[in-house]
Amino acid sequence: MRKEKDKDNDMTTNTKQISPSGFNESSAERGRGASTLFDKIWDAHVVSTIEDGPTQLYIDRHFCHEVTSPQAFNGLRERGLKVFRPEKTTMTADHNTPTKDQHLPVKDPVSRRQLEAFAKNAEEFNMPLFYPLGHEKNGVVHIIGPENGFTQPGMTIVCGDSHTSTHGAFGTIAFGIGTSEVEMVLATQCILQSRPKTMRITFNGRIKPGVTSKDLALYMISKLTTGGATGYFVEYAGEAIRNLTMEERMTVCNLSIEMGARGGLIAPDETTFNYMKGREFMPKGEDWERSLAYWKTLKSDEDAVFDKELVFNADDIQPRITYGTNPGMGMGINESIPTLDQIDEAGRISFKKSLDYMGFKPGERLLGKKIDYVFLGSCTNGRIEDFRLFTNYIKGKKKADNIIAWLVPGSWKVRKQIEEEGLDKILEEAGFEIREPGCSACLAMNDDKIPAGKYAVSTTNRNFEGRQGQGARTILAGPLVAAAAAVNGKITMPTP
Amino acid sequence: MQTSNNTNNSYLSSQTPPSGGWGAGSLISSVVPLPIENVDTDQIIPARFLKATDKKGFGDNLFADWRFNKDGSPKTEFVLNDPNYTGEILVAGKNFGSGSSREHAAWAIAGYGFKVVVSSFFADIFRNNALNNGVLPVVVSPEFLAEIFESVNKDSKTTLKVDLKSQTIINNATGKSESIEINSYKKDCLLNGFDDIDYLLSKKELIEEWEKKASTAH
């Protein structure tokens, strides 16, 4: 959205580009023996390659939810096919589900029918890993995968959901697919994909206290723009990434798609293995040791060549917010919205349309802007650490009267942990309530919709027009900026 | 070549290409211009319409929030409601189809009657989804795209010829053309009405072999 010239200036100060090469070229074909982590995992999953066509890729884990799967199961029925490897698909209801009274029948009849179809498909096709509403393992698909140990380094992982990139935090090739591809995976445990190019994004330094991995990701997306990584699979590296917890890494990988990347991954390390050990679907005993030895080999070779390399300094990053209607339209919380002359000519219609929708003016500062709603949750920021950060900021303060706040844990397990740690008591004393898990207001398929014209500071992933409800105005931010907005009723710098 | 919208979308379930579409290998049509950048799949089909369990009817809600007022009446200023612009080709600003992986976006575009989307840049998942539904995403240079918008601005009846067989797109107002990039596998699929599942099912033995090898590898 910003002028190419400005973007180039940004890039030259802290990035370098290595000559990009074409599509469908493995590192070996580039004449080098060294491989990237992406190359290693991809090459290990190639079943066949079609000449002048895509690659047939084997899929280790398929996640499935109620919205993008019914037509795929219908397709199987029409063709008279069974699910090829039912134990490799994990099913959870999340997009369409209410966040109150989940023990009662779902009120919206259309949602209810979709959830019933999901259950019927699970039963008819003998799917062993089915977690419906209220199940102890139910929750947002990209939360429950890692939480229960389904997500393991070196895997190929797909789901009919663009935020599947979340699982890349464990050193996996994980990406979102369409429903036709869901049908392919159900029928054959394979899909056909063109090999993406590789990009490495290195963050040197460390993020400052009071800055979250969400801020780091929003910073990166605004540098690259919403299509800046399209066609690439990204590896995140550098000191700042190494120092993130697994949950923080998941937030970064989750948002890869918001700059168009096919996915994003991080090489596994001790942080990864410590997080994984003992989770239910992880290998146990000798199997764990054998797997661990393999997982430790999963990193890019030192002299591996990426099609593109970018380097940023994590020390520069401030708490961030978005001002527009795509995640690339972001800025430091105390910065100003760009003025029209900072926008290239082809993008001005879209820029103006975006600001009109948001009710903002070019050049405006948003610090102190009154807010109506705060949403904490989603596959981006619905994990226990997000609730801890939010609660820690809230402790001893009160929710502002003008704010309606929806705090939605990513899963029943996250909610249980919130209760075990007593976070719910602190939040209740401050005037908040914890709801039941689901995607909720992130995409407003259930009853949690932000009304038209209202401003929401949201820890989610998309500020698209109408994303959180028709006419809703979304400001994306991390859990600390959300907490500061919730207690002050306006956009506020979250000083510790 | 028909130019009416809301054409029959029965091909979606029958796995055969749209009648008069890629079976013939080319089409000539007037266009619907949408010079907006970063059109995301939430705009193409808002999430509240994703509750269906079949592929039908999404065309009726294509661009719903840009196309209709809250009471369901058409927003007259939106291009799909302007009778001057019709056709089977949608021409949009760069980075079309970003965001969600919902194939419902491709079903909505196909269901409405578009067979081609032209832009200078497409999001990856949308591109795959379009191809899997007989809709051809055509990437053109930013200059060629700007020229189409200019031609259509001057004359709303401007036509484009999209020839899949020879892989060319021609702006009939200027006579200029560019080549269409598509791999020969997908081209054959579109021309013959095959889909990826047909291919994958024919490779079952290879898949089982791969599984055996993988189970002993680590």
Do A62 and A190 meet the contact criterion of CB atoms below 8 Å apart?
Answer: no
| Inter-chain residue contact A47 with B101, CB threshold 8 Å | no
Closest Cα in chain B to A180: B132
Nearest Cα of chain B lies from the Cα of A351 at a distance, in angstroms, of 9
For residues B25-39, average pLDDT: 96
Determine the Cα–Cα distance for residues B204 and A253; give it in Å rounded to an integer.
Answer: 33
pLDDT at A347: 87
Short-list B127, B112, B50, B93, CA closest to A326: B93
* Helix axes of B124-131 and B104-112: crossing angle, nearest 10 degrees: 50
Residue linked to tokens 């074409």: A22
At residue A496 the predicted structure's pLDDT band, cuts being 50, 70 and 90, is: low
In three-state secondary structure terms, A130 is: strand
Share of chain B above pLDDT 70, in %: 90
Helix axes A479-488, A384-394, angle to 10 degrees: 30
Q: Does B79 touch chain A (CB under 8 A)?
A: no
What is the pLDDT, as a whole number, of residue A11? Answer: 35
Picking from A58, A160, A294, the nearest residue to B210 by CB comes out as A58
| DSSP H or E stretch at residue A202 | strand A197-204
Cα A72 to Cα A470: distance, rounded to the nearest angstrom: 28
pLDDT (mean) for A105-110:
94
Are residues A346 and B37, on separate chains, in Cβ contact within 8 Å? yes
Least trusted range by pLDDT, from A25-39, A246-260, A462-476, B176-190: A25-39
pLDDT at A311 over 90: yes
DSSP state of A258: G
Q: How many whole angstroms separate alpha carbon A206 and alpha carbon A241?
A: 8
Q: Which of B39, B98, B149, B210 to mutate to test the interface with A (most CBs of A within 10 A)?
A: B98
Cα angle B208, B212, B218; round to 5: 140
List, for residues A207-238, the tens digit of each pLDDT value.
999 999 999 999 999 999 999 999 999 999 99
**A253-308 pLDDT tens trace:** 999 999 999 999 999 999 999 999 999 999 999 999 999 999 999 999 999 999 99
Show the tokens assigned to A457. 């500071």
User: Other CB atoms closer than 10 Å to residue B153's CB: what's the count?
Assistant: 11
Which of these ranges, A58-72, A361-375, B8-22, has the smallest mean pLDDT?
A: B8-22
Percent of chain A scored above 70 by pLDDT?
93
* Contact yes or no for A338/A364 (Cβ under 8 A): no
Give φ, ψ of A64 to 5 degrees.
Answer: -145, 130
Q: According to the model, what pLDDT value does residue B218 have?
A: 56
pLDDT tens column, A441-478? 999 999 999 999 999 999 999 999 999 999 999 999 99
Please state, rounded to an integer, the average pLDDT across all residues of chain A. 93
CA pair distance A14, A61, nearest whole angstrom:
37
| CB interface of B with A, residues 113-132, below 8 Å | 121-125, 128-129, 132
Provide the sign of the torsion angle of the four alpha carbons B123, B124, B125, B128, taken in this order.
Answer: positive
Helix (H, G, I), strand (E, B) or coil at A192: strand
Those of residues 155-184 in B touching chain A at CB distance below 8 A are 183-184
Question: Which chain A residues touch B124 with a CB distance below 8 Å?
Answer: 196, 230-231, 260, 262
The DSSP code for A314 is: G
> For residue B68, what are the β-bridge partners?
B74
Q: Which residues in chain A are contacts of B69 at CB distance < 8 A?
A: none
CB contact under 8 A, A188 and B204: yes
Cβ separation A346–B184 shorter than 8 A: no
Of A58, A183, A470, Cβ closest to residue B197: A183
CA distance B129 to chain A (A): 6
Interhelix angle A384-394/A246-254, nearest 10 degrees: 100
Q: Of A118, A108, A116, which is closest to residue A66 (Cα–Cα)?
A: A118
Q: What are phi and psi of A455, to 5 degrees?
A: -95, 135
Is B21:B134 a contact under the CB 8 Å cutoff?
yes
Q: What average pLDDT score do residues A164-190 get?
A: 98
> Does residue A242 carry a pLDDT above 90?
yes
pLDDT recorded at residue A345: 86
pLDDT at A16 over 90: no
Say which of B35, B129, B201 has its CB closest to residue A178: B129
Q: Does B50 touch chain A (CB under 8 A)?
A: yes
In the predicted model, is pLDDT for residue A18 greater than 50?
A: no
Q: Which of A155, A181, A221 to mutate to test the interface with B (most CBs of B within 10 A)?
A: A181
Q: What is the CA radius of gyration of chain B?
A: 18
Percent of chain A with pLDDT over 90: 92
Phi–psi pair at A8, nearest 5 degrees: -60, -40
Residue in B13, B102, B146 nearest the CB of A68: B102
Separation CA B171–CA B27 (nearest Å): 12
Q: Which of A281, A284, A285, A282 is nearest to A129 (CA)?
A: A281
Chain-chain contact of A188 with B93 (C-beta, under 8 angstroms): no
Q: Which residues of B touch A183 (CB under 8 A)?
A: 197
pLDDT for B193 equals: 86
B174 Cβ contact partners less than 8 Å away, ≥ 6 residues apart:
B147, B151
Q: Is B56 on the interface with A (CB under 8 A)?
A: no
Residues 84-113 of B with CB under 8 A from A: 93-95, 98-104, 106
- pLDDT computed for residue A12 by the predictor: 31
- Which residues does chain B have within 8 Å of residue A350's beta carbon, measured at their own beta carbons? 36-38, 93
**Closest Cα partner for B170 from B26, B65, B10, B4?**
B26
Q: Model confidence at A10, in pLDDT bands (50, 70, 90)?
A: very low
A278 close to A415: Cβ distance less than 8 angstroms? no
| CA separation for the pair A256, B149 (Å, rounded) | 31
> Residue A58 above 60 pLDDT?
yes
Burial (0-12, 13-18, 19+ Cβ within 10 Å), A258: buried
CB nearest to B54's CB, from A71, A183, A189: A71
Question: Which is nearest to A17 in space by CA: A199, A195, A221?
Answer: A199
Give the per-residue pLDDT at B23.
76
> Does B129 contact A346 at a Cβ distance shorter than 8 Å?
no
B208 CA to chain A: closest CA distance, Å? 10
> Per-residue pLDDT tens for A394-416?
999 999 999 999 999 999 999 99
Question: In this structure, what token pair is assigned to residue A408?
Answer: 């939605």
- Chain B 136-155, CB below 8 Å of chain A: which residues? 142, 146
Q: What is the 3-state secondary structure (H, E, C) of chain B?
A: CCCCCCCCCCHHHHCCCCCCCCCCCEEEEEEEEECCCCCEHHHHCCHHHCCCCCCCCHHHHCCHHHHECCCCCECCCCHHHCCCCCCCEEEECCCECECCCCCHHHHHHHHHCCCEEEECCECHHHHHHHHCCCCEEEECCHHHHHHHHHHHHHCCCCEEEEECCCCEEEECCCCCEEECCCCHHHHHHHHHCCCHHHHHHCCHHHHHHHHHHHHHHC
Give the one of B46, B52, B203 whose C-beta lies nearest to A56's C-beta: B203
Determine the residue among B12, B34, B38, B140 to mutate to test chain A binding: the one whose Cβ has the most chain A Cβ atoms within 10 Å.
B38
What pLDDT, on a 0 to 100 scale, did the predictor assign at position A17?
33
Q: Which two tokens stand for residue A266?
A: 């991080």
Contact predicate A281/A249, CB 8 Å: no
Please give, one letter per residue, the 3-state secondary structure of A320-344. Answer: EEECCCCCCCEEECCCECCCHHHEC
Measure the CA–CA gap between A347 and A337, rounded to whole angstroms: 15
